[in-house]
């Protein structure tokens, strides 16, 4: 996924940190693990809850890495 360096930002949040509950509600990341793909306009493109195969995660990153 090096080809996306500089085009996407990955934020990792501790699921058990209660101070982040508002973010989990806002982005619909209610399970563990959860992945929220958010485009440059701040819109949630997709949310995946549970383990994600590398190919699926890369396809999701490719969608949000496109210029808005």
Residues contacting residue 63 through CB under 8 Å, at least 6 positions apart: 37, 39, 45, 46
Report field, pTM of the whole predicted structure over 0.85: no
Q: How far is Cα 56 from Cα 63, in angstroms, rounded to an integer?
A: 11
Q: How far is Cα 51 from Cα 3, in angstroms, rounded to an integer?
A: 23
Q: How far is Cα 6 from Cα 59, in angstroms, rounded to an integer?
A: 17
* pLDDT on residue 43: 87
Count of domains forming the chain: 1
Instruction: Give bridge partners of residue 8 from the DSSP assignment.
Output: 5
Range of the domain at 38: 2-65
pLDDT-derived band at 55, boundaries 50, 70, 90:
very high
């Amino acid at each position: 996924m090096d080809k996306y360096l500089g085009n996407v930002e990955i934020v990792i949040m501790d699921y058990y940190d209660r101070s982040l509950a508002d973010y989990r509600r806002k982005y619909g990341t209610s399970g563990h693990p959860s992945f929220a793909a958010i485009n440059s306009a701040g819109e949630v493109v997709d949310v995946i809850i549970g383990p994600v195969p590398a190919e699926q995660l890369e396809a999701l990153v490719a969608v949000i890495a496109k210029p808005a």
